[in-house]
Amino acid sequence: MKLILLGPPGSGKGTLAEKLETKFHLTSISAGEVLREEVNKKTTLGKVIKKYIDRGHLVPDEFITQLILLEIKDKKNYILDGFPRTVEQAKAIAGLHLHTVIYLEIPLTAVVERLAGRMVCGKGTHNYHIIYLPPKKSGICDKDGSKLVQRKDDTPTIVKERFRVYTQKTAPVIKYYQQKGILKTVDASAAPKTVFAEALKILKR
Ligand code: AMP
C-alpha cells in the first residue's frame, strides 16, 4: 500500500504517519526528515538545503524528488509524509500506483498554536506538543530518550512564511489529487486519536 499525507505545517502528518506505520507495517518516509538528515551530514547539498529550510522555503523540486525516489526505490509499501508539496513533484511520481492521498484539513489559525508548542526529539523524528501531546517525562523523547527541542523553522516569522508557501505551492496539489479521484479529507483539528480513527475508516473502506 502506498499512501500520501498532505496538509499544512502542523496539521499532524508526522503524528498520523507514526500511527499508520505501526498499524499497517508500512515504512514512513518524511520528506522533511530526509532533508534534515542531509543537512546533518553537512554535505555540499546539505548546506544548500539548510538555507531553504531555515527560511521556510521549499527545497527545489529536483533535489527533493531525487532524494525521495532513492528512498522508495526498493519499497512497495510506504507512507510519504510531506511529499509531494508541489504539482511538479506530484507529476514526478505519477507512475506510482498510489492507494490513497489523505488530506489533513485544518484552518491555518489552528496550526499556529500547535506549532508554537511543538517539540521534536533530538533526531527530529518524534513529535510532541507541550499541551496536546506531552511526553511522559518532561523534555525527554518517550521513544529514544533524547532531549526535546523546538525546530528552528517553527518560530513565528518562519512559520508565517511556510504558510505562505503552502498556500501558493502545496494547495494546488490537493486539487491535483482530487481530480485523480484518490483524495480523502480528514478533519485534522480533532485530537490525534480521532484523526487516526478517521484515517482507518478511510483505509478500510
Ligand atoms: P517538514 O518537516 O515536513 O515540516 O518540512 C520541513 C521543511 O523541509 C519545509 O519547510 C521545507 O523547507 C522542506 N521540505 C519538506 N518537504 C519538502 C518538499 N516535498 N519539497 C520541498 N521542500 C520540502
Which residues, in sequence order, are CB contacts of 195 under 8 Å at separation 6+?
A: 12, 15, 16, 104, 186, 187, 188
The residue whose CA has the least distance to atom 10 of ligand 1 is: 56
Q: What residues does ligand 1 touch, defined as CB less than 6 Å away?
A: 9, 31-32, 35, 52-53, 56-59, 64, 82-85, 89, 153, 162
The residue whose CA has the least distance to atom 5 of ligand 1 is: 32
Q: Please state the atom number of ligand 1 nearest to the C-alpha of residue 53.
A: 12
The residue that leads in pLDDT, 164 or 109, is 164
The residue that leads in pLDDT, 109 or 86, is 86
The residue whose CA has the least distance to atom 11 of ligand 1 is: 58
For position 7, what pLDDT does the model report?
A: 96
Cβ atoms of 12 and 195 within 8 Å: the answer is yes
The residue whose CA has the least distance to atom 15 of ligand 1 is: 32
Q: Please state the atom number of ligand 1 nearest to the C-alpha of residue 68.
A: 19
Amino acid identity of residue 8, one-letter, is P
Each residue of 6-30: pLDDT tens digit?
999 999 999 999 999 999 999 999 9
Ligand 1 centroid distance, CA of 85 (Å): 8
Ligand 1 centroid distance, CA of 56 (Å): 8
- Chain CA centroid to CA 102, Å: 11
Using 50, 70 and 90 to split pLDDT, how confident is the model at 110? confident
Amino acid identity of residue 4, one-letter, is I
Each residue of 61-100: pLDDT tens digit?
999 999 999 999 999 999 999 999 999 999 999 999 999 9
For position 111, what pLDDT does the model report?
A: 86
Each residue of 144-155: pLDDT tens digit?
999 999 988 888
For position 77, what pLDDT does the model report?
A: 95
Residue 205 pLDDT more than 90? no
Q: Please state the atom number of ligand 1 nearest to the C-alpha of residue 89.
A: 19
Residues noted as catalytic? 13, 85, 118, 151, 162
Identify the DSSP state of 120.
E
H or E element at residue 166: none
Q: Which three cell numbers stand for residue 172?
A: 494546488
Using 50, 70 and 90 to split pLDDT, how confident is the model at 163? very high
Burial label for 14, CB within 10 Å (0-12, 13-18, 19+), is buried
Q: What is the mean pLDDT of the chain?
A: 94
Alpha helices per DSSP H over the chain: 13-24, 31-40, 44-55, 61-72, 87-92, 108-116, 156-165, 171-180, 192-204
Residue 134 pLDDT more than 90? yes
Ligand 1 centroid distance, CA of 9 (Å): 9
- Chain CA centroid to CA 53, Å: 14
Residues of the chain with pLDDT > 70, as a percent, come to 100
Ligand 1 centroid distance, CA of 59 (Å): 7
Residue 171 pLDDT more than 90? yes
Q: What is the mean pLDDT of residues 135-146?
A: 95
